[in-house]
A and B are shown apart, each in its own frame.
Chain A
Amino acid sequence: MAQPRSLFEKIWERHSITTNEAGQTLLFIDRHFCHELSFHAFNMLHGNDRKVRHPERTFAIPDHYTPTTGLDDADYVDGDTQALVQNLINNAKRNKLNLFGLDDERRGIIHVVGPEQGITQPGTIIVCGDSHTSTHGALGALAFGIGASDVSHVLATQTLWQPKPKSMRVTVSGKRSIGVTAKDVILAIIGHIGAAGGTGHVIEYAGPVIESLSVDERLTICNMSIEAGARAGMIAPDEETYSYLRDRPFAPQGAEWEKAESFWRSLPSDSDAEFDREVTLDAASIEPMVTWGTSPEDVLPVGGRIPDPALETDTKRQDILNRKMDYMGLTPGQQISDIKVDRVFIGSCTNSRIEDLRDAASILKNRTISIPAIIVPGSGLIRAQAEQEGLDKIFEAAGVDWRPAAGCSMCIGVNGDFVNNGERCASTSNRNFEGRQGRGARTHLVSPAMAAATAVTGHFTDVRDMEQN
């Protein structure tokens, strides 16, 4: 009998070219994505007079520095950012990479575009110089972020040396209650295992709740694996995955599809596969969540209260809490729903897909917002779909600033969309680090529905108390 193997192990072994004397494995890389910040890697490549080994396997998509108000020269925050975008385009052309350029409707946030185009497929290994590459694991791929030197290594060799990570299975059992989204599930998981809980591990999410999720929702879950410190996050492919992928532009077609699908069906973890660590969470305990601190692990149900550092016995822990409290401008014991918010951002590779926009629209329909809010679609195609469904009309009627051009936007705040110093933002993105959305910005991570509800009332509001239209 063959040794039982997990999804992760099957992909790992299939891509193993060789193992060196130190036990590192040379992995073949199926797909590679580049964005503007890949410029270091291109400089290293060209500086060493090296060529891209498999240009057809690399996709270049500008997303971090592109403006969202439009793509005219005047929309860029400055000439430097525009030059950086152009630099990626030039590098893509020079090396004959797949390019989704500025005038391409398919352009958007890399981690949104990959799955949407069917570039992301089960059983593949995908890398990108971006930590949220973990997103692509939602379709049963092994996908992880790498730094610039490794990007240049992938460009030159289509391979990477890696020590084998450990494996961890997070099972979400029971049933999700109404009003609880995929974002709440992943925030609860991070709260449970901690921001370093997955360090050195590849997480496989499993169990009835995960299986019941749509692909859009699964992408939200895997996206935030890195916020739990994990190397990657993945979900076994199933009928949901196959029907999502069928007929996508880069998915296999015809007879090739049949062969691919039968291979994909062999990928899910064997029933007796072993994991280095197992964690189980009951979905019944998960509520709409809000982060309050400066690490994604600082998360509470919307009905909760800000912790009181004075109740901490450990002085080091007390200092840490005080610092977070100070940065976030919160008072101990404060009710989350009493926190006044200055602005709302709905977007990012965590929550900018069509289902996220529909969720936000269901709250915003027939209501008006009381604080500034922007919604940025994850790709040009999502923007078109949303407009076809009339979601843009709902957003505009509510007073929301619906942005016509896709991109990372206020998630990282480098394209001109940022949160002002000291301002408090309810954001559907994935990081609440100090300064992440702009210097001094105070970020609270929430789901799109919770963000929309907050935009209406001006303070954190339990979405379950608001009728959805």
Chain B
Amino acid sequence: MEPFTCFTAIAIPMDQDNIDTDQILPARHLMMPRDERYGGYVFKDLRLDQNGNEIESFILNQEGFRPSRIIVAGHNFGCGSSREGAVFTLVDAGFRAIIATSFGDIFYNNSFNNGLLPVVLPEETVQRLRQQLHDGPGAEVTVDLESQTVTGPDQSVYPFEIDAHRRNRLLKGLDAVGYTLQYEENITTFEEDYGDKAPWEMSATLR
């Protein structure tokens, strides 16, 4: 996984709330193996019509916004299904950070496993950022994980909160399983004790 430290890129404002994972990656593309093809499917049905032509009104198709690598959304971004493909497609299309007032819980979790940084900022800030991006298409935003700050197009700086465990993993690009295996002894001890306390739990699935 690619580490995330500080990232500056053109940002795109997406005003809708509740952008669900079916919008990010339609269900009919879920069976693709994990390879570079995912990038071409991002927001597929919002971006392209049935004949594969670009839908002009969709913001990612508009001049100035095409090269964006950061999304500034509304609330509940990534709600819906658990599909990690929604994160694969965003990452493969070049996105490294999403700024929103809230995220779907599973999407939020999945992001950290793929080097995508979801940033929660207050409503007022997010609205202000989106307005500035609408006003000046192509404007850049910086997301700095080390200092835990977002810098807007007008150079205003906004601090954000993030759980230290996830921050650490992203900064170092750590593999989750490798990290957990350092706790192997704790897991084994737990399992032995658990079997004593709840024997039905250890045997129930073995029939």
Complex Cα–Cα for A251 and B207 (A): 10
B81 in the interface (beta carbon within 8 A): yes
| Given known A-B contacts A157-B187, A195-B79, A229 and B104 have beta carbons under 8 A apart | yes
The 8 Å CB contact of A251, one of B85, B105, B168, B204, is: B204
Cα of A421 to Cα of B49 in the assembled complex, Å: 12
Which residues of B have CB within 8 Å of A147? 82-84, 87, 106-107, 109-110, 113
* A231 in contact with B105 (CB, 8 Å): yes
Q: Chain A CB within 10 Å — which of B33, B79, B105, B113 has the most? A: B105
Contact with B along A213-236 (1 / 0, CB 8 A): 000000000000010011100000
- Complex Cα spacing A81 to B201, Å: 35
One of B59-67, B144-152, B174-182 at the interface: B174-182
Q: Is B165 a contact partner of A40 (Cβ separation < 8 A)?
A: no
Which residues of chain B are within 8 angstroms of A319 by Cβ–Cβ distance? 15
How far is A144 from B109 in the complex, measured between Cα atoms in Å?
12
Q: Is the CB of B200 within 8 A of A434?
A: no
Q: Which of B23, B85, B109, B167 contacts A146 (CB 8 A)?
A: B109
Instruction: Give min CB distance, B195 to chain A, whole Å.
Output: 11
List 20 additional contacts besides A23-B163, A37-B83; criterion CB under 8 Å: A24-B163, A31-B205, A40-B34, A131-B82, A131-B106, A133-B82, A147-B113, A149-B114, A150-B110, A152-B177, A153-B177, A153-B180, A156-B181, A226-B80, A259-B198, A414-B28, A433-B22, A433-B23, A434-B45, A440-B50
Cβ of B194 under 8 Å from chain A: yes
Judge whether B177 and A37 touch: CB under 8 Å.
no
B106 touches which of A48, A145, A431 (Cβ 8 Å): A145
What chain B residues lie within 8 Å of A23 (beta carbons)?
Answer: 163-165
* Bound Cα distance from A439 to B23, whole angstroms: 11
Cα–Cα distance between A388 and B166 once the two chains are bound (Å): 52
Are A295 and B106 neighbours in the complex by a CB distance under 8 Å? no
Of the residues B102, B203, B207, contact of A199 by C-beta under 8 Å: B102
A316 at the interface (CB under 8 A from B): yes
Contact B186 A26, beta carbon cutoff 8 Å: yes
- Given A414-B27, A434-B45, residue A256 in contact with residue B76 (CB < 8 A): no
Q: Say yes or no: B106 contacts A80, CB within 8 Å.
A: no
Q: How far, in Å, is A200 (CB) from chain B's closest CB? A: 6
Is A100 interfacial (CB-CB < 8 Å)? no
Instruction: Please report the C-alpha to C-alpha distance between residue A124 and residue B105 in the assembled complex, in whole angstroms.
Output: 21
Q: How far is the CB of B78 from chain A (nearest CB, A)?
A: 11
Cross-chain pair count, CB within 8 angstroms = 192
CA distance A384 to B68 in the complex (A): 54
Tell me whether A436 and B106 are in contact (CB under 8 A): no
- The answer for the CA separation of A50 and B201 in the assembled complex, in Å, is 25
* A194 nearest in chain B by CB position: B76
CB-based nearest B residue for A64: B30
Q: How far is the CA of A36 from the CA of B114 in the complex (A)?
A: 21
Number of interface residues of A (CB under 8 A): 81
Contact A263 B198 (CB under 8 A): yes
Closest CB pairs A-B (n = 3):
A22-B165, A149-B113, A147-B110
A-side contacts of B206, CB under 8 Å: 56
Chain B 3-37 interface mask (CB, 8 Å, partner A; 1/0): 00000000000011110101100111011011000
Q: Which of A10-31 contact B (CB under 8 A)?
A: 17-18, 20-24, 26, 28, 30-31
Whether a CB of chain B sits under 8 angstroms from the CB of A260 is yes
B190 contacts across to A, CB distance below 8 A: 17, 28
Judge whether B27 and A22 touch: CB under 8 Å: no
Residues of A within 8 A of B16 (CB): 320, 323
Find B201's partner among A20, A40, A124, A157 (CB 8 Å cutoff). Answer: A124
A438, B151: Cα distance in complex, Å: 40
CB-CB < 8 A to A352: which residues of B?
none
- Please report the C-alpha to C-alpha distance between residue A57 and residue B204 in the assembled complex, in whole angstroms: 9
Least CB separation from B179: chain A residue: A161
Give complex CA distance A243, B93 in Å.
51
Distance between B72 CB and nearest chain A CB, rounded to angstroms? 14
Q: In chain A, residues 131-178, which have Cβ atoms closer than 8 Å to a Cβ of chain B?
A: 131, 133, 144-150, 152-153, 156-159, 161, 163, 165
Residues of chain A with a CB closer than 8 A to B198's CB: 259-260, 263
Bits for A120-132, please: 1 = Cβ < 8 Å to B, else 0: 0100100001110
Given contacts A157-B177, A159-B180, A436 and B205 within 8 Å (CB-CB): no
**B204 A252 Cβ-Cβ under 8 A:** yes
- C-alpha gap A440/B113 in the complex (Å): 32
Q: Does A426 contact B (CB under 8 A)?
A: no
